[in-house]
Amino acid sequence: MPATTTIAKKPKLDARAAASAAAAYFKELYPDVTAFSLEEVELSEDGTHWLITLSFEIRPTQSLGMLAFQPPRTKFKVFKVDARTGRVIAMKIRKLE
C-alpha cells in the first residue's frame, strides 16, 4: 500500500483579506468599540481557514472610588475565517497564558 501524503490546500484568500473579514465581523458585533488592533494571523496546517486575533480595550463601567483609577483591560478575540470564501465561521475568546 503506497504511503499517502497530506497536501495543504492553497487558500484563495490571503492574510489581508481574512483579517479584513474578521474586522468587518467584529465591527458588526461590537459597534460601540471604536478601536481595535490586529494581533495575530495564522493559516491552519491544512490551509482551509485563517485564525485572526483582534484586541480591544474595555474601560471600567463604574466610577466609584478606586474603580475610577483602574486602567482599561485588553480583551482578545480569535476569528476562524474560511480561506476559500472569507466567511467567518467562529469567534472565540483568546486568553493569554
Q: Give me the residue spans of the domains in the chain.
A: 15-93
For residue 58, is pLDDT > 60? yes
The highest-level CATH class for domain 15-93 is alpha beta
pLDDT at residue 13 greater than cutoff 80: yes
- Amino acid identity of residue 60, one-letter, is P
Let me know if 79 is exposed, middle or buried by CB neighbors in 10 A (0-12, 13-18, 19+): buried
| Alpha carbons 43 and 41: distance in angstroms, whole number | 7
Residue 66: pLDDT band (50, 70, 90) is low
For the record, the C-alpha cell of 34 comes out as 471604536
Tell me the β-bridge partners of 53: 40, 78
Which among 17, 8, 58 has a CA at the least distance from the CA of 38?
A: 17
Region 35-63: mean pLDDT is: 90
Cα 34 from Cα 72, distance rounded (Å): 14
Band (71; pLDDT cuts 50, 70, 90): confident
Give the mean pLDDT of the chain.
86
